[in-house]
Amino acid sequence: MKKLLLHSCCGPCSSGVLEALTREYDVTILFYNPNIFPEEEYYKRLDTQYKIVNALNSEGADIKIVEVGYNPAEYNNIVQGLENEPEGGSRCEKCFRLRLEKTCKYAKDNGYNIFTTTMSVSPHKNYILLNEIGRDLSSKFGVEYLEANFKKNDGYLKSIRNSEKYDLYRQKYCGCKYSIWDK
pLDDT tens digits, one per residue of 96-131? 999 999 999 999 999 999 999 999 999 889 999 999
> Bridge-partner residues for 90, per DSSP?
none
135, 101 contact by CB (below 8 A)? no
Q: How far apart are CA 117 and CA 14, in angstroms?
A: 9
Angle between helical axes of 90-109 and 72-79 (0-180°, round to 10): 130
pLDDT tens digits, one per residue of 3-33? 999 999 999 999 999 988 999 999 999 999 9
Residue 21: per-residue pLDDT: 97
